[in-house]
Amino acid sequence: MALLELLWPALAAGLLVALVSGPLGSLLVWRRLAYFGDSLAHAALLGVGLSLLLAIPGWLGITLVCAIAAGLLTLLLRRPELATDTLLTVLATTSLSLGLIIVSLADNVRVDLMAYLFGDLLGVTAGDLPLLLAGALLTLGLLRWQWDALVLASVNEELAEVDGLPVNRLRLLLLLLVAITVTAAMKVVGVLLITALLIIPAAAARRLSRTPEQMALAASGIGMLAVLAGLAGSLQWNLPLGPAIVVAAAAAFALLNLLPRRQTN
């Protein structure tokens, strides 16, 4: 009973994050913007440092910094002279380095840096779940509302512009939703592995899907199975939980890509 009381909040949190990561990761894969998630994830550590410095709740600092980074990325990417990969590398490495520096200067606060970098899912309590659930419902609701427009803008941005869709606002919305998910996913897999939970299940789901909706649902399912497998492996062999979840997702990706592709008529 004591083990169940310890594990059910962690399991619920992990499944919620995986559920939301499926459609978001699919959109990032279609846009070929995996590095966006990485940049926002690295910015999350800067949010942690500023939260400690300003004595505000960690989730608030992380969300604000990630939202600002998302807005900044959206503005800078409208300038064609800035190469996307260069811009994302500068943002990711700078924000991660600033975050580490600020955290190291927080002498009056004991900081478990490894938990931020690689996750601390077993540290999730029942009190954390209402906020996680609210974030998941908000994200899924906004995705459902703008799904068709987000898919079209992700698959063919030029066609979306011709159809009169607000491409820049849709990109900003996507990045803000990723920022919310990054805030929640820090507890699950940590800053360094968040992008893996977003991208690997979505990449694996491509082999199972014929439509965007199928891919989003399959990505969520694969991510949730990875959480279950990672948690089981962690308990069985005393593995670090965040990396175990990512390895489980990577194993699913490898297995699915070994299967022969189905022929279509």
CB atoms within 10 A of CB 39: 28
Instruction: Report yes or no: 19 and 223 within 8 Å, Cβ to Cβ.
Output: yes
17: which 2 tokens?
A: 């994050």
Q: Considering the chain, what percentage of its residues have pLDDT values greater than 90?
A: 34
For all residues of the chain together, what is the average pLDDT?
86
Provide the token pair at 151: 């898919």
Q: What is the dihedral of CA 68, 74, 76, 78, to 10 degrees?
A: -160
Query: Residue 85's pLDDT is what?
Result: 75
Residue 54: CB partners within 8 Å, gap ≥ 6?
61
| Residue 4 or 129, more confident | 129
Domain ranges for the chain: 2-258
The encoded tokens of residue 223 equal 């991510």
pLDDT in tens, 17-50: 999 999 999 999 988 777 777 888 888 888 888 8
Where residue 16 falls among pLDDT bands split at 50, 70, 90?
A: very high
Model confidence at 261: pLDDT above 70: no
State the pLDDT at residue 35.
Answer: 77
pLDDT above 80: residue 113: no
23 touches 220 (CB < 8 A):
yes
d(CA 219, CA 156) in angstroms, rounded, equals 21
The domain defined by 2-258 folds into: ABC transporter involved in vitamin B12 uptake, BtuC (1.10.3470)
Q: What is the pTM of this model?
A: 0.89
Note the pLDDT of residue 264.
44
Mean pLDDT calculated for residue range 66-86: 78
If one counts every other C-beta atom within 10 angstroms of the C-beta of residue 248, the result is 23
